[in-house]
């Protein structure tokens, strides 16, 4: 066994100088890309880049221009303290975006909300110059789309119930504030989502324009019209698509069902008149993630089959003939789950992405049938943008060993990485794959991150990292759970896709359906066995970690084996009955686990809390109080149960974070605490409490 006291690479307190993976301050300051927009003529690309603000207390997003040809360096377009988001191009080349920046014409906060700035809609002229304010709304604007041909603008904005005008909305919100009222009256379910309450205001959709250079005084949009279809459930309108000619808006609508459940249908709205009709609605299915064909006659979407007690849900690429024809499945034999469709320039084919064996490639399927074609090899792709020449695609790509970056895709060529501010040097180690055949004959694969210098003479301690979901996969870079930070400190990191993981077909999901403590657990143990069989892994120094479903599995592991020297459980499920009624969309989980009052077996068989008396492994519990997906009660109950059973444990609590740890300071403390906990138990070091704790 190597002597860790002489190996600086394995010393968690000795950060290698000049290395962003060894220096948390530098790592936190790295630019982070998200979103991609292509101009109507295909000559310009814009992405959003998040960087630390001046006092390094939060990330602020700015818009950057990326050269589609890959020749010129990326160029920053916007700069303000609040930041800019949601870029989209107008037909005239202007870049529209949302921002809470102040209106320079007023000399104070945009509109009348200087004390509580809200994001409004702005336009950055195509020929340069200062951005101008296009339109406001008292509750703030959350997202925007523009018709590429007509220039019609549709945006979502938060509005109070009963407010028929923006002026009335502002008065209602002000009256609540002046009266000191924060109460919300709910009349249907659910009441909250992720980290926020669903009310009293809800996002509605508004239309304005068309946007031209001289249509409105001072470049402002005309008064926006509320075109939100009357919905059968109180909800935020978040998923919508606009036809190129600006005539039609497709909106995904929640429909209440029995037992406080919901399904999603698609309504088609006439932007001019507000008239609507339903074009996709079936019991047992959700419809959304939509895109109009170039001529507006067809609507592509994702049709998701609800899960049930017996079967995991499936999803497929669905195309609807808006002239009155039936919808049809374009991917009936595709083994995985299509997502985020984009039309080819001529309307004869669709592109989409899908998880597949540790990647998320781009696929193409012809509208008139034929085999699905896989267009990319390595990496996880998103934000597909189709060039009008029909020869090029642009996308964001990430891999387990590289953060998000823009690429150009062209037939017969490898993706070309476009110059961007998010480029990062080589990580401190190597990435490889391992797999094993488990007892039922299934093959389970995993990424394995190895630190520099790991060898038979110097085997690395192993961290088993379990992904969340559970219908997910380790196939992309993560800023929140970054294995390369661990590799910089001498650890190998195992990133497996056990039963329930996406990208391996429905049968692979079925193996763990309704039995989370079954095949998912045994898969994890067997792939760990395969990892420690390597001579460059130290089987005597191992730990397990996971967040969300991964935290559930970490808790299950703690109660069913003592093979690991430490366990870190983040935002984890502990008592399934308790979780089932307090999570933000309980009906989703009830489809798999059943009615907790009358179908008890799966809750009893799969709840980790039953094995608390068997836990002997030291545990670090982490939870945020604003986590509504896995509410704080799970973490509190777990912490109490561990303490009363005498388990060596610590509880890292974040009063103002949600399911994820999102602020820079808290993210650094998260890593520092995990480093210290693992160093104590895996490397036999001394516990060192992080300075700010």
Of 211, 226, 241, which one is at a domain's C-terminal end?
Answer: 226
Single out the residue in 226, 253, 284 at which a domain terminates.
226
**Residue 90 placed within a domain:** yes
Q: Which of 195, 226, 257 is the last residue of a domain?
A: 226
Domain of residue 149, residue span: 78-226
Q: Chain-centre distance of CA 266, in angstroms?
A: 23
User: How much is the pLDDT for 526?
Assistant: 98
Share of the chain above pLDDT 70, in %: 95
Q: What is the pLDDT of residue 17?
A: 46
Tell me the pLDDT band of 221, cut-offs 50, 70 and 90. confident
Task: State the SS3 of 107-174.
Answer: CECCCCCCCCCCCEEEEECCCCCCCEEEECCCCCEEEEEECCCCCCEEEEEEECCCCCCHHHHHHHHH
Please state the φ and ψ torsions of residue 681, each to the nearest 5 degrees: -95, -30
**For the domain that residue 497 is a member of, what is the CATH number?**
3.40.50.1820
For residue 670, is it within any domain? no
Q: Is residue 145 part of a domain?
A: yes
What pLDDT does 270 receive?
Answer: 98
β partners of residue 365 = 350
487-542, pLDDT tens digit by residue? 999 999 999 999 999 999 999 999 999 999 999 999 999 999 999 999 999 999 99
Per the structure block, which two tokens stand in for 92? 């005239």
Say what the pLDDT of residue 215 is: 44
- Size (the chain), residues: 693
Give the model's pLDDT for residue 425.
Answer: 86
Cβ pair 134, 217 in contact under 8 A: no
Q: What CA–CA distance (Å, rounded) separates 599 from 607?
A: 14
Q: Vertex 623, ends 609 and 23: CA angle to 5°? A: 130
Q: Which residue has the higher pLDDT, 226 or 9?
A: 226
Is the predicted pLDDT of residue 217 greater than 50, yes or no? no
Span 344-354, mean pLDDT?
Answer: 98
- Say if 342 falls within a structural domain: no
- Give a yes or no: residue 571 inside a domain: yes
> Could you read off the pLDDT of 88-114 as tens digits, one per residue?
999 999 999 999 999 877 655 444 556
Q: What is the DSSP string of 427-474?
A: -SEEEEEEEEE-TTS-EEEEEEEEETT-SSSSPEEEEEEE-SSSS--S
Q: How far apart are CA 207 and CA 222, in angstroms?
A: 10
Question: What is the DSSP secondary-structure string of 37-59?
Answer: EE-TTSS-EEEEEEEE-TTSSSE
Residue 15 pLDDT:
43
Q: Is the sign of the CA dihedral 671, 672, 674, 679 positive or negative?
A: positive
Instruction: Confirm whether 102 is domain-assigned.
Output: yes
DSSP H or E run through 601? helix 601-606
**Chain segment 351-405, per-residue pLDDT in tens:** 999 999 999 999 999 999 889 999 999 999 999 999 999 999 999 999 999 999 9
Beta-carbon contacts of 14 under 8 Å, excluding residues fewer than 6 positions away, are 8
For 532, the token pair is: 């420690």
pLDDT score of 456 more than 80: yes
Choose among 485, 495, 496: nearest CA to 428. 485
For residue 216, pLDDT over 50 is answered with no
Q: How far apart (Å, rounded) are the C-alpha atoms in residues 632 and 693?
A: 20
Picking from 2-6, 309-313, 663-667, which range would have the lowest pLDDT averaged per residue? 2-6
Q: What is the pLDDT of residue 219?
A: 60
Long-range own/partner contacts, residues 21-26 (CB < 8 A, 24 or more apart):
21/427, 21/428, 21/482, 21/484, 21/485, 21/487, 21/488, 22/428, 22/488, 22/489, 24/485, 24/668, 24/671, 24/672, 25/668
Q: What percent of the chain has pLDDT over 90?
A: 90
Reported as a pLDDT band with limits 50, 70 and 90, residue 18 is low
Average pLDDT over residues 302-324: 97
**27-50: pLDDT as tens digits:** 999 999 999 999 999 999 999 999
Number of folded domains that form the chain? 2
Q: Which pLDDT score is estimated for 423? A: 84
* E-assigned strand segments in 625-676: 649-654
Task: Report yes or no on 609 lying in a domain.
Answer: yes
Matching residue, tokens 């669903």: 198
Is residue 205 domain-resident?
Answer: yes
- Is the confidence at residue 156, as pLDDT, over 50? yes
Mean local confidence (pLDDT), 143-170: 95
């Amino acid at each position: 066994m190597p002597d860790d006291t002489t190996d600086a690479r394995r010393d968690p307190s000795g950060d290698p100088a000049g290395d962003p993976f060894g220096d948390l301050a530098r790592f936190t300051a790295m630019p982070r890309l998200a979103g991609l927009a292509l101009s109507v003529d295909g000559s310009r690309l814009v992405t959003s880049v998040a960087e630390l603000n001046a006092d390094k207390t939060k990330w602020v997003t700015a818009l950057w221009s990326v050269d589609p040809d890959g020749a010129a360096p990326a160029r920053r377009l916007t700069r303000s303290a609040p930041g800019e988001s949601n870029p989209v191009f107008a037909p005239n080349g202007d870049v529209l975006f949302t921002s809470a920046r102040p209106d320079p014409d007023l000399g104070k906060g945009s509109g009348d909300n200087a004390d509580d700035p809200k994001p409004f809609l702005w336009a950055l002229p195509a020929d340069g110059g200062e951005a101008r304010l296009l339109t406001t709304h008292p509750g703030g604007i959350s997202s925007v789309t523009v018709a590429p041909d007509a220039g019609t603008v549709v945006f979502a904005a938060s509005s109070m119930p009963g407010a028929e005008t923006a002026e009335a909305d502002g008065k209602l919100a002000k009256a609540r504030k002046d009266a000191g009222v924060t109460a919300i009256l709910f009349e249907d379910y659910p009441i909250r989502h992720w980290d926020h309450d669903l009310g009293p205001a809800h996002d509605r959709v508004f239309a304005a324009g068309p946007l031209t250079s001289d249509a409105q005084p001072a470049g402002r949009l005309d008064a926006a019209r509320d075109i939100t279809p009357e919905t059968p459930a109180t909800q935020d309108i978040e998923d919508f698509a606009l036809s190129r000619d600006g005539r039609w808006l497709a909106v995904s609508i929640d429909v209440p069902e029995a037992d406080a459940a919901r399904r999603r249908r698609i309504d088609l709205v006439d932007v001019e008149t507000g008239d609507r009709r339903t074009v996709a609605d079936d019991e047992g299915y959700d419809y959304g993630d939509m895109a109009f064909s170039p001529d507006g006659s067809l609507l592509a979407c994702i049709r998701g089959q609800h899960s049930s007690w017996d079967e995991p849900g499936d999803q497929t690429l669905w195309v609807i003939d808006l002239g009155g024809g039936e919808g049809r499945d374009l991917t009936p034999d595709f083994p995985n789950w299509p997502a985020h469709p984009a039309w080819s320039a001529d309307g004869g084919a669709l592109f989409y992405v899908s998880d597949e064996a540790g990647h998320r490639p781009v696929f193409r399927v012809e509208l008139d049938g034929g085999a699905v074609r896989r267009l990319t090899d390595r990496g996880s792709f998103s934000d597909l943008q189709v060039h009008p020449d029909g020869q090029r695609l642009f996308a964001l790509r990430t891999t387990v060993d590289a953060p998000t970056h823009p690429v150009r895709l062209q037939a017969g060529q490898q993706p070309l990485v476009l110059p961007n501010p998010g480029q990062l040097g080589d990580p401190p180690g190597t990435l490889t794959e391992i797999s094993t055949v488990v007892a039922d004959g299934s093959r389970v694969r995993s990424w394995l991150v190895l630190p520099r210098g790991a060898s038979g003479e110097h085997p690395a301690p192993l961290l088993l990292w379990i992904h969340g979901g559970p219908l997910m996969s380790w196939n992309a870079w993560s800023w929140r759970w970054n294995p390369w930070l661990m590799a910089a400190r001498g650890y190998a990191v195992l990133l497996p896709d056990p039963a329930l993981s996406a990208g391996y077909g429905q049968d692979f999901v079925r193996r763990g359906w309704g039995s989370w403590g079954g095949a998912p657990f045994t898969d994890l143990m067997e792939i760990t066995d395969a990892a420690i069989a390597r001579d460059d892994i130290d089987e005597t120094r191992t730990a397990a970690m996971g967040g969300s479903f991964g935290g559930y599995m970490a808790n299950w592991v703690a109660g069913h084996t003592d093979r690991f020297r430490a366990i870190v459980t983040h935002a984890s499920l502990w008592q399934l009955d308790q979780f089932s009624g307090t999570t933000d969309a309980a009906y989703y989980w009830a489809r798999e686990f059943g009615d907790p009052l009358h179908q008890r077996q799966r809750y009893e068989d799969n709840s980790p809390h039953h094995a608390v008396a068997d836990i002997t492994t030291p545990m670090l519990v982490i939870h945020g109080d604003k986590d509504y997906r896995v509410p704080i009660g799970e973490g509190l109950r777990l912490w109490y149960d561990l303490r009363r059973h005498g388990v060596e444990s610590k509880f890292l609590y974040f009063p103002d974070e949600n399911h994820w740890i999102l602020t820079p300071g808290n993210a650094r403390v998260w890593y520092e605490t995990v480093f210290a906990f693992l160093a104590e138990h895996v490397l036999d070091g001394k516990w060192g409490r992080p300075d700010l704790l």
